[in-house]
């Protein structure tokens, strides 16, 4: 999978897109089973037509641009989303900067300047509720009509249903809020995880006997809060057991989302490493304690429960 940052960089890949492409467009937050159904269809169609497969995503998400106060919490930051795409067989991901100029494109302008002139699209796959263009003026019928005149085909993917209900990013968020990790794993096809670079924190953990890896989750809000038994990937040749706090650290008056991970039986410096933190078992909600002594006692209990889970 290759990343194209912005429509202005399409020219660099013009030779590989000269014969056209098979394209899909969306937010793909969480890359759940419904999204995976679209991506599989995209890949299969691209193979059949001997054309590259392309996914178009946006930063920020359109709802974050138009109504940030109404925007749902993200399941994935951009890096995590690109990691998920990299596990598929798609060829290109283009990340389009969603700004005032792009938002001002009418549906017709978008089709002409982006789909036809930019991508030379030959086949387009969209969701069953897809709308686009200024004032959401374009939809599936609009694309079909335009495609018939301009030489590209359009198909609408049906909603992916599991257990009688639609699989959606909203449903994944609802299960995470409980949190029901087993349900989330069923909906996204893998364990829920975070990715980030280990950064320098306040180093309070080491003063109370529980040194932590600190990650910046690069989110305004966290999709899940609390203390979890976790496994860490990217530091050894096997998943490493740990206990982690996800949230705002209320005991020390934290104001930004953070991920703090205490690795069991580990002493090496990991600053700068990119790691994956995989949620395995919910231990308790995040809570505020009356000082570091109470916090230390609770973390000790959390660590015992996590060790019991991992049978350490």
User: What single string gives the DSSP state of each residue in 253-297?
Assistant: T--S-EEEEEETT-----TT-EEEEEEEEEEE-----SSHHHHHH
- pLDDT at 264 (0 to 100): 96
* Element (DSSP H or E) covering residue 204: helix 204-207
* Angstrom distance (rounded) from CA 51 to CA 122: 9
CB proximity list for 284: less than 8 A, separation 6 or greater: 226, 227, 302
46 burial level (CB within 10 Å; 0-12, 13-18, 19+): buried
Q: What pLDDT is stored for residue 287 in this prediction? A: 86
**pLDDT tens digit at each of 312 positions of the chain:** 999 999 999 988 888 888 999 999 999 999 999 999 999 999 999 999 999 999 999 999 999 999 999 999 999 999 999 999 999 999 999 999 999 999 999 999 999 999 999 999 999 999 888 999 999 999 999 999 999 999 999 999 988 999 899 999 999 999 999 999 999 999 999 999 999 999 986 656 555 568 889 998 888 889 999 999 999 999 999 999 999 999 876 544 555 788 999 999 998 889 999 999 999 999 999 888 787 788 889 999 999 999 999 999
Q: What is the pLDDT of residues 229-252, one digit of tens each?
A: 999 999 999 999 999 999 876 544
Q: What global pTM score does this model have?
A: 0.92
Cα separation, 244 vs 179, in Å, equals 15
User: 2-160 has which fold?
Assistant: Rossmann fold (3.40.50)
CATH of region 192-310: 2.40.30.30
Residue 6 near residue 97 (C-beta atoms within 8 A)? yes
> Residue 132's beta-bridge partner residues?
138
Return the exposure string of 140-165: e unless at least 16 CB atoms fall within 10 Å of the residue's CB, then b.
Answer: bebbeebbeeeebbbebbeebeeeee
Q: Give CA–CA dist 175/170, Å, rounded.
A: 9
Domain ranges of the chain: 2-160, 192-310
Written as six digits, the tokens of 184 are 């989330």
Q: What is the pLDDT of residue 256?
A: 77
pLDDT at 248: 78
Predicted local confidence at residue 265, as pLDDT: 94
């Amino acid at each position: 999978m290759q990343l194209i940052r912005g429509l202005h960089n399409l020219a660099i890949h013009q030779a590989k897109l000269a014969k056209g492409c098979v394209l899909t467009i969306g937010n793909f937050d969480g890359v759940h089973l419904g999204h995976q159904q679209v991506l599989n269809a995209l890949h299969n169609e691209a193979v059949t037509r001997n054309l590259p497969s392309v996914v178009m995503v946006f930063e920020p998400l359109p709802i974050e641009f138009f109504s940030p106060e109404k925007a749902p919490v993200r399941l994935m930051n951009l890096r995590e989303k690109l990691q998920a795409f990299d596990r598929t067989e798609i060829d290109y991901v283009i990340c389009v900067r969603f700004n005032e100029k792009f938002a001002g494109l009418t549906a017709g302008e978008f089709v002409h300047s982006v789909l036809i002139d930019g991508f030379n699209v030959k086949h387009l796959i969209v969701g069953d509720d897809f709308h686009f263009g200024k004032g959401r003026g374009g939809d599936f019928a609009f694309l079909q009509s335009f495609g018939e005149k301009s030489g590209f085909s359009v198909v609408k993917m049906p909603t992916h249903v599991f257990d009688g209900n639609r699989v959606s990013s909203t449903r994944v968020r609802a299960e995470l809020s409980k949190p029901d990790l087993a349900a989330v794993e069923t909906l996204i096809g893998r364990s829920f995880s975070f990715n980030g670079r280990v950064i320098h924190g306040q180093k309070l953990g080491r003063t109370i006997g529980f040194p932590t890896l600190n990650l910046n989750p690069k989110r305004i809000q966290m999709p899940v809060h609390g203390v979890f038994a976790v496994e860490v990937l990217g530091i050894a040749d096997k998943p490493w057991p740990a206990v982690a706090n996800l949230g705002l650290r209320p005991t020390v008056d934290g104001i930004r989302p953070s991920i703090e991970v205490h690795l069991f039986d580990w002493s090496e410096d990991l600053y700068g490493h990119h790691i994956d933190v995989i949620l395995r078992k919910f231990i308790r909600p995040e809570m505020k304690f009356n000082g570091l002594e109470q916090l230390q006692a609770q973390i000790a209990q959390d660590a015992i429960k996590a060790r019991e889970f991992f049978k350490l």
